């Protein structure tokens, strides 16, 4: 019999979107061996966090690209400690405004608003796509530095599926890959799955160009095609290292815009009668969805408040209240404006990518294309061209 928690969750929150994805077992036998042209790791952490990706690149015989920023992350230090059997490119990206990326409408929309996102993860992933174009890499693997893959064979199997699929995700085990609100939902008895994410994502770069907007759940937007999902599969298994999602209420606050937008779009994809994600340009959809979201967070908050008192409950409650406060600043018109801006950005990105050449001259020339005209050149190191 359905519990009250399950009933409210079903009516106001979709705890899984896995039915949208073709799932292959971890040990399936592809028709041919998959080739990975490069592993791309965006990082803000100390270079020791690259050790797993380094071993993976060595086993697959492909280059490792590490994209560095902030105080604890250094391309030079990563290069010094890179094993001799690994081909690599390590890049300090610096100011995202210098990078050769379009001036996205979605970024301009949230500038000087409470919804501005002060991270460079989407910029790093977009630069990874740009570098793949320049270097002629057809199949790349995005891998976060806190993700560990069971074995290189699983990555090769994912790459093999790119013959048919545009994107292949990997099942994230270990600590669940959810937003803060969804972590609280799961921990208080709600049914909550993890969806495909950019933390472990094999990408075919020459078909159906897409980009990562600067918003939480940017990877969910990358997976979208013209009206529905791009051709998407899941295989293998990876593990995310554990962390405390409730350590800072600001985390939940900053995730809320992206969580609302992505869940609102995928709500439509879950409904076969909706006609696809383009119905997200209807304010009436967001009027209904924002009401559902409020009911959902209120329900999770009630469940949290029934837990035994203590620091853990207090941290969860503070995070949910931060998310709820940010939700209350959203309205249907803003959600529609964001989706329309994102549609413009999709075409802008495709046009931008079409102007980027495929080079035969290697990494040195590619680096020049990664920054805008007149911008400061990037500092980078590689196994071929050192001490740049």
Cα separation of 346 and 213, whole Å?
9
Task: Give residue 53's pLDDT band: very low, low, confident or very high (50, 70, 90).
Answer: very high
pLDDT for 170-192, tens place per residue? Answer: 988 778 899 999 999 999 999 99
pTM of the predicted protein model: 0.94
**Does 382 score more than 80 pLDDT?**
yes
For the chain, the straight-line distance linking the first and the last C-alpha, in angstroms and rounded, comes to 64
- Please state, rounded to an integer, the average pLDDT across all residues of the chain: 93
The strand ranges marked E within the chain are: 22-23, 38-43, 64-68, 88-92, 139-143, 147-149, 167-174, 200-204, 232-240, 379-382
Residues 6+ apart with CB under 8 A from 307: 188, 313, 316
With 90 as the cut, is the pLDDT of residue 273 above it?
no
pLDDT tens string 250-262: 999 999 999 999 9
Q: What are phi and psi of 202, to 5 degrees?
A: -90, 135
Q: What is the pLDDT of residues 363-381, one digit of tens each?
A: 999 999 999 999 999 999 9
Q: Is the pLDDT of residue 122 over 70?
A: yes
pLDDT in tens, 92-111: 998 899 999 999 999 999 99
**Predicted pLDDT of residue 6:** 55
pLDDT in tens, 206-252: 998 999 999 999 999 999 998 899 999 999 989 999 999 999 999 99
The domains of the chain, with CATH numbers, are 16-244+346-382 (3.90.550)
* Residue of 320, 352, 330 whose CA lies nearest to 102: 352
Residue 97 structure tokens: 């405004």
Q: What's the whole-number mean pLDDT along residues 315-340? A: 98
- With cut-offs at 50, 70 and 90, classify the pLDDT of residue 386: very low
pLDDT of 144 > 50? The answer is yes
Which has more pLDDT, 232 or 387?
232
Going 104 to 107 to 112 to 113, the CA torsion angle's sign is positive
Looking at residue 31, its pLDDT comes to 78
Query: What pLDDT does 203 receive?
Result: 97
């Amino acid at each position: 019999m359905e519990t009250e928690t399950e009933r409210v969750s079903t009516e106001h929150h979709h705890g899984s979107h896995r039915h949208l994805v073709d799932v292959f077992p971890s040990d399936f036998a592809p028709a041919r061996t998959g080739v990975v042209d490069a592993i791309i790791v965006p990082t803000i952490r100390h270079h020791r966090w690259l050790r797993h990706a380094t071993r993976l690149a060595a086993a697959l015989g492909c280059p490792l690209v590490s994209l560095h920023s902030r105080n604890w992350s250094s391309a030079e230090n990563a290069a010094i400690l890179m094993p001799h059997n690994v081909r690599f490119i390590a890049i300090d990206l610096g100011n995202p405004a210098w990078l050769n990326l379009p001036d996205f409408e979605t970024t301009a929309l949230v500038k000087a608003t409470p919804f501005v996102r002060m991270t460079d993860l989407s910029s790093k992933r977009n630069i990874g796509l740009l570098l793949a174009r320049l270097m002629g890499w057809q199949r790349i693997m995005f891998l976060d530095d806190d993700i560990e893959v069971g074995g290189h064979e699983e990555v090769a199997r994912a790459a093999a599926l790119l013959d048919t699929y545009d994107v292949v995700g990997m099942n994230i085990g270990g600590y669940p890959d959810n937003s803060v609100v969804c972590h609280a939902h799961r921990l208080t008895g709600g049914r909550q799955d993890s969806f495909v994410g950019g933390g472990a994502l094999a990408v075919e770069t020459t078909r159906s160009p897409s980009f990562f907007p600067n918003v939480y759940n940017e990877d969910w937007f990358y997976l979208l095609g013209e009206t529905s999902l791009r051709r998407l599969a899941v295989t293998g298994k990876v593990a995310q290292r554990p962390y405390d999602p409730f350590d800072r209420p600001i985390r939940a606050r900053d995730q809320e815009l992206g969580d609302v937008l992505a869940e609102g779009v995928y709500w439509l994809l879950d409904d076969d009668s909706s006609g696809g994600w383009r119905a997200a340009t209807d304010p009436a959809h967001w009027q209904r969805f924002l009401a559902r979201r409020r009911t959902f967070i209120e329900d999770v908050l009630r469940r949290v408040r029934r837990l035994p008192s203590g620091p853990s409950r207090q941290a969860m409650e503070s995070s949910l209240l931060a998310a709820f406060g940010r939700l209350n600043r959203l309205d249907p018109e803003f959600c529609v404006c964001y989706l329309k801006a994102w549609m413009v950005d999709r075409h802008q990105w495709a046009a931008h990518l079409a102007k980027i050449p495929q080079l035969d001259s290697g990494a040195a020339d590619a680096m020049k294309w990664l920054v805008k005209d007149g911008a400061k050149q990037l500092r980078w190191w590689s196994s071929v061209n050192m001490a740049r």
